[in-house]
Amino acid sequence: MKSNILYKVKHIAISLFCVVFSLENFAQNTIINSGWQFSENETQWETVNLPHTWNINDAFDDVPGYRRGLGYYKKKVYLSSEEKGRIHYLKFNAVNQEATVFVNGKLIGNHKGGYTAFNFDVSEFINYDAYNLIEVTVDNSHNENIPPLDADFTFYGGIYRDVEFISISKQHFSLDDFASDGFYVNYYNVSEEKAGVTVTCILNNRATINLKTKLRLDLLDAEGNLVKTRTELLKLPAETSNEFKIKLPEVYNPKLWSPEIPYLYHLQLVLTNEQGVVLDSKLANIGFRWIGVDAEKGFFLNGKPIKLVGVNRHQDFNGFGNAVAIELQKKDIEIIKNMGGNFLRFAHYPHARELYDMCDKLGIMVWTEIPVVNKVTDTEAFFTTSLDMQKEHIKQYYNYPSVAMIGYMNEIFLRLAFDNKSSEDSKQQLKTTTLKLANDLEVLTRRLAPNHITVMAGHLNEVYNETGIADLPKIFGWNLYFGWYDKDIPDLGVFLDNQHERYPNRSLLLSEYGPGADVRIFTRTPKKFDFSWDYQAKLHQSYYEQIMNRPFMTGMAAWNFADFGSEFRGDPIPHVNQKGLVQYDRTPKEIYYWYKSVLDKKEPFIHISSDYLSGLTVMDDQPYPVQIFSNQKRLSVFLNGQKLEDVTIENGYTTVCFLFKNGINLIKVVSADVSHEKSIEVLNINALNFKDFDRFGINLGSHFYFRDETQKLTFVPDQVYQKGWFGYFDGKPFGMTKDKNQGIPNNIKNTTSDPLFQTMLEGCTSYKADIPEGTYKISLFFVEPNIKPVENIYNLSGSDTPIQNKGQRVFDIYINDVLIHKEFNMAKEYPEKYGITLTSIIKIVENEDLIINLKPIEGNPVISGILIEKQ
């Protein structure tokens, strides 16, 4: 079958990439990312560059689901006969999630698992002075034997990290130990006085003769000065692989590595033959540090207590899926460092290795883990894949000094906790299986990485205590969403104190927390599940205090650094989990600056949190609260050139109420060393005669403002009717993004202004706005909240039957007694949750106001928004 493809290849234009080797080079790693051919069906091909995924669009479109199936890649690589005496490997740094590789039509191997590297020795399949065809069949379908089985992120399919063609001499550092670098760095006697390094090297001799080699280890300081060196004469027997452990003498008065001063030494490993010709070489970061953990006193670095505060990270990026250029990804680590974070959990799988190198360099302590998430499968194959994945993970990421913690499971009882179908027996069986796998992974991790701290994260459920699984790792992480999925914000501390009391010997970390937040939503009255930035601030500010006040807590990692793709979600931006401190394109949300104000003490810093305020609509006597963030103690606040007050900062912020005038307002905040200014455009409507406006929008049924960039307008929150102003007479506010609806797609089609539509008034028959006489364009916004996505959206069959009868509503719409729409029936007219706008021009005469009536014929009318525009 494959030779068939080879034949076909000759007939299509593909871009060829030539690997030209120089014999002086002892090892040649060529990144072969450009000019691959990609197809979803093996008939139509397109040229793509890696990193690549086929789910960039369909994971974000209006159709539920995304393509999980096969993708085919191929590419030709030229090798000259000068390469003959060398060994050739093909290395894939990550392919999601199963890859089957062919070279010149022959099956080379298969790899399961989408987040770790793997390689194949392809030497015997290569043709010299010829083009060699590499083909990769990639599969991201659901597979019961490959973790993750289920999780709150999108499993984009494709070859999304670098592919390397490696040519090396016959004597080299092994590539066969789970695609590691073939050497492992360990430390001994690390203290302020001295520190030592030992290295275990796996050296291969693929020649048919024995060879005497020299291995030189050079330890260089950050400036490149040689600090210690050692050369070993090593005999490499023919056709063997051997392990050598080499100890470098101790360094006296070493410079220690820490987040404040991430001082790095470097270790160079050079393998030569007896004559000094280089055969292979490697490089590693060396960070002298020691860590410890205490169930009562928390985390210790270099003998001193340190509270770990940082974020979790997912690897995808707006518009790229998981196929993100590495330079763009590296910026994330800089953004986290600039925020002052000293801790990063790479969730829920190993990320690109370059990022761990960045953490070494910038000084961020790392938790890294494999994607065994939400549930396990009770098969030998699942166990084997998980254990192999952990072996790859540990061996490939072992040498980064920033890596402090190695994990292997996230919320592994989540599906079990929500399972109300299975029998008690089968649930018990699943618990036993899960515990067995956890135990196997823990034992494996401790054996392969005895100097790292093992970790696991669980969700709010007793099952982690009952089963004893929480006592396996050295630190247990709780993912806690008090004030979001569960109870209220202050319940965090109550829960943690209780856990600490019940399990005094267990070290705890808050491994996830945080609410969803959309930068277009703000409010004076933040509430659970409103996605306002204000609620995000409230929750994070309180959580931080609660953790800082508990010395037993080792640390906290916010969920999430950035918004990320999760296809089934119905947050205000559909298919995106919006719990990020920065947006999906990494633009900081306001909360990012608050973290900076509490974490980053390097330079004086002030931030006025007001980006979201542009277009704020207020009345004369309504001061608006604005948060000011700073790492300074005392600040002076000015509005439009006038000093308002001196304020004191606590927990990184203070709230100042501003009476804004109509038009541009300038806020200025100064401290002794630094100042910050922001100008805000405000629409101040004189409430009593409601006249100074051109455009006025109301977000019906909602307590929050919504900044609609498509309309260039900020919709105001709703209210009960007030004379001279606006509001509803009857009906109840209704929100589609409510807690209980989590997981149900609330994606409103035909619009990106989802928050305007997602909140509405239900049962409202009469609404009034006391606008002055004139001609107006009135737009009314509607959505039918009860329509569920139909299985086949094309199955409309032209019949009159509504898609779904449940919740169907029919009503007549009147504006000032003029019938605008008779028998309005959204369930009948629209196949799905469409954002519907009805626009009319009306004339208001003297002594008349705007009155909207929704007269029910069947069910309760709903309405989501009103936009009034002067003509």
Least distance in Å: CB of 655 to ligand GCB?
Answer: 27
Least distance in Å: CB of 429 to ligand GCB?
Answer: 24
Q: Considering the complex, state which of residue 373 and residue 748 has its C-beta at the smaller distance from ligand GCB.
A: 373
Least distance in Å: CB of 569 to ligand GCB?
Answer: 9
Least distance in Å: CB of 345 to ligand GCB?
Answer: 10
The pair of three-digit structure tokens given for residue 568, joined into one six-digit string? 């089934």
- The torsion angles phi and psi of 179, rounded to 5 degrees, stand at 55, 30
Least distance in Å: CB of 735 to ligand GCB?
Answer: 18
Q: Considering the complex, state which of residue 152 and residue 357 has its C-beta at the smaller distance from ligand GCB.
A: 152
- Tokens 């905040």 correspond to 669
Least distance in Å: CB of 348 to ligand GCB?
Answer: 6
Q: Considering the complex, state which of residue 577 and residue 617 has its C-beta at the smaller distance from ligand GCB.
A: 577
Q: Considering the complex, state which of residue 581 and residue 863 has its C-beta at the smaller distance from ligand GCB.
A: 581
Q: DSSP assignment, residue 590?
A: H
Least distance in Å: CB of 452 to ligand GCB?
Answer: 21
Least distance in Å: CB of 564 to ligand GCB?
Answer: 8
Q: Considering the complex, state which of residue 37 and residue 746 has its C-beta at the smaller distance from ligand GCB.
A: 746
Closest CA to 655 of 692, 624, 620, 691: 624
Least distance in Å: CB of 568 to ligand GCB?
Answer: 11
Q: Considering the complex, state which of residue 151 and residue 441 has its C-beta at the smaller distance from ligand GCB.
A: 151
- The DSSP line for 777-814 is EEEEEE--TTPPPPS-TTTTTT-SS-S--TT--EEEEE
Q: Considering the complex, state which of residue 507 and residue 578 has its C-beta at the smaller distance from ligand GCB.
A: 578
Rounded Cα–Cα distance for residues 454 and 472 (Å) = 8
Rounded Cα–Cα distance for residues 295 and 554 (Å) = 8
Q: Considering the complex, state which of residue 357 and residue 411 has its C-beta at the smaller distance from ligand GCB.
A: 411
Residues 6+ apart with CB under 8 A from 439: 472
Q: Considering the complex, state which of residue 154 and residue 699 has its C-beta at the smaller distance from ligand GCB.
A: 154
Rounded Cα–Cα distance for residues 444 and 473 (Å) = 12
Helix, strand, coil shares of the chain, percent, nearest 5, are 15, 40, 45
Least distance in Å: CB of 765 to ligand GCB?
Answer: 38
Residues 6+ apart with CB under 8 A from 529: 484, 515, 516, 735, 737, 738, 739
Query: Where on the chain is the footprint of ligand GCB (CB under 6 A)?
Result: 151-152, 348, 410-411, 459, 479, 512, 559, 577, 579
Least distance in Å: CB of 577 to ligand GCB?
Answer: 5
Q: Considering the complex, state which of residue 363 and residue 371 has its C-beta at the smaller distance from ligand GCB.
A: 371
Q: Considering the complex, state which of residue 512 and residue 762 has its C-beta at the smaller distance from ligand GCB.
A: 512
Chain position whose Cβ is nearest to ligand GCB:
152
Cα distances from 684 to residues 53, 348, 358, 660, 863, in angstroms, run 48, 47, 48, 7, 26
Question: Do the bridges between strand 663-670 and strand 675-685 make them parallel or antiparallel, or are there none, so unpaired?
Answer: antiparallel
Sheet arrangement for strand 291-294:
291-294, 298-301, 304-305
Residues in the chain: 871
For residue 178, the cross-strand partners are none
- The DSSP line for 231-271 is EEEEEE-TTEEEEEEEEPPPEESPPBB-SSSB--EEEEEEE
294 HSE (CA, 13 A, CB side)? 12
